[in-house]
Amino acid sequence: MGKLLEGWAPQSEITAGEMRRGMDRLVQESVYSSATTAMTSGVILTAFALHLGASNFVVGLLASAPFLGQLLQGPAILLVEKLRQRKLIAVVSSVVGRSMLLLMAAAVLLPPGIGLAVVVLAQCVLCGVTAFGACSWNAWLRDLVPDRQLGDVVARRTVYATMVSLVAGLLAAFTLDRPGGTPEQRDYVFLALYAVGFIGGMISAWLVGRIPEPQMSPREDRVRLIPLLRQPLGDPNFRRLLVFLVAWQFAANLATPFFAVYFLRQLGLEMTLVMMLSVVTQVANLLAVRNWGYLSDRFANKSVLTVAAPTYILCIAAMVGASQFHNRDLLVAYLIGLHLLMGFAVAGVTLATANITLRLSPKGSATSYVATGALASSLAAGLAPLLGGAFADFFARRRFEILTRWTSPEETVTLQPLELSGWDFYFLIAAVFGLYAIHRLALVREEGEIAPRHMLQEVLDQTRRSVRNISTVAGFRAATELPGNLLREARVRARLQRRRARRTEVAKVHEDSAAASTIARGG
């Protein structure tokens, strides 16, 4: 045990070879950790809970656990400062947290009520322990990776994590949807998914343990959380931003965690299709984030939010339209279009909310401002699904219909009624909270912001340019223009070389003439 702890101890010096191997393991670790997450959380976890007979409140509790677990980052900061061994904290928290997946896998072998309680308890422990690991991991990663390599490492981790998450999630959903599967067979499918997730988590922890950790810089002052978190509250503009962040996180997480329940229960969609909709959102997010980044750098983050946030709220309200379709093909097409738009909007909101928090934080005090924003957002995001799950059953027993009837002397025609039931009410209420969040955003001040209508025009122009750049016609045009450009460049270079050669020859003639004249005068 002592030798093992020595291997996890911080190093005063890290060789170039150790650094290179550490960078490779950082990328490898993302493959196993992202596969574990894809097979044991999100849509898969919601389906698992519903399979065990979870109520809407339990689904909300499971969805709130990751956000409420982030509140433990405060004590995690104190633990890191006290022990000053970030690798040890990260590895132990990873092993303990991922061990809960094995407990969740065994839940299918227990009576339904007990099994569901075990899943909820394990999820809460996993999310709480993960907060300690994430705190130490982020600080460790920042000190380990050189600035000139940080972008490359983060980009590679993101690419591999995204690819593996998409593939693993789709495979898991396809396995759960295989034809002829009985409830007993689904028990063993969930058991296998969580067991494989546990194995992937242990491999991830093993790789983390083999990454070198530099020693932390000497401790200057003792960290005190209360004064640290109290400082941003004295800034009026940042207080207005905090109100927006809290209102926004509450509105978004009042609806988002229950999309899967809505699709599976009320719309009756298959797991594979639900996972594919999630993939559509992620792909749209990846394609849009670069454009949002360009616009946030050129203008203000608030300007980005004035377009992206209302778009996302519109998508939440538009979920009501999905329940009005009776043709499956039209329903699927509608949901795909809606998820493309949601992915586009989420990319802008996520990027701009993180950036505006940093930008409105004064230099030298960014840590306290960012920490306060993160804790307030986590609290709101955690409470929203809890309250939503508690009230969801109330709406499940209510129904609202609007009938449109045309009566003439010849006949009476009743048009397709508008029917709102279950989650339809819920999404409309979430949209109302979202509108309040947008109202609070208008009170925030940021340098460089422009009018929403101007920002919308910029977004449309940037989107058109992106589509034009990746379109087939533009691609063929670029392919045909390239040889011509190369030929013109070669011709220009040839002319320059000929001119230089002529100038060299003329200069040499002048030198020879000058030398001959000198010799003649000397003679």
Q: DSSP string spanning 209-269?
A: HTS--BPPPPP-S---HHHHHHGGGG-HHHHHHHHHHHHHHHHHHHHGGGHHHIIIIIS--
Distance CA 150, CA 515 (A): 61
| Least confident segment among 52-61, 475-484, 496-505 | 475-484
Q: Residue 175: what residue type? A: T
DSSP letter (8 states) at residue 53: T
Superfamily of domain 19-223 in the CATH hierarchy: MFS general substrate transporter like domains (1.20.1250.20)
Top-ranked range on mean pLDDT: pick from 19-28, 45-54, 260-269, 445-454: 45-54
Averaged pLDDT, 163-169: 88
CB atoms within 10 A of CB 280: 18
- What is the CATH topology of the domain spanning 224-460? Growth Hormone; Chain: A; (1.20.1250)
CA 58 to chain centre: 24
- Specify the pTM: 0.77
The residue among 297 and 223 whose pLDDT is bigger is 297
Averaged pLDDT, 407-424: 67
Q: What are the pLDDT digits (tens) for 225-268?
A: 677 667 778 888 889 989 999 999 999 998 888 888 889 888 88
Find, among 241, 244, 242, 301, the residue nearest to 433 by Cα.
244
Top-ranked range on mean pLDDT: pick from 155-159, 260-264, 322-326, 354-358: 260-264
Find, among 460, 455, 439, the residue nearest to 304 by Cα.
455
Confidence (pLDDT) at 161: 85
Find, among 109, 107, 100, 108, the residue nearest to 128 by Cα.
100
Distance CA 363, CA 408 (A): 72
The residue among 413 and 250 whose pLDDT is bigger is 250
Distance CA 367, CA 371 (A): 6
Q: Residue 84: what residue type? A: R
Confidence (pLDDT) at 219: 62
CA 381 to chain centre: 15
Confidence (pLDDT) at 514: 52
Strands 399-402 and 418-421: antiparallel
Token pair belonging to 103:
């407990």
Confidence (pLDDT) at 491: 46
Distance CA 90, CA 276 (A): 32
- Phi first, then psi, for residue 413 (nearest 5°) are -115, 125
Confidence (pLDDT) at 267: 87
| Least confident segment among 11-20, 79-88, 385-394, 461-470 | 461-470
Confidence (pLDDT) at 347: 85
- Phi first, then psi, for residue 418 (nearest 5°) are -90, 120
475 CB contacts (<8 Å, ≥6 apart)?
A: none
Confidence (pLDDT) at 101: 96
HSE, side-chain direction, 13 A CA sphere, residue 157: 18
370 CB contacts (<8 Å, ≥6 apart)?
A: 357, 358, 361
Confidence (pLDDT) at 400: 62
In 422-508, beta strands by DSSP E: none
Find, among 395, 384, 299, 391, the residue nearest to 348 by Cα.
299
Distance CA 312, CA 381 (A): 16
Averaged pLDDT, 364-380: 77
Helix (H, G, I), strand (E, B) or coil at 131: helix
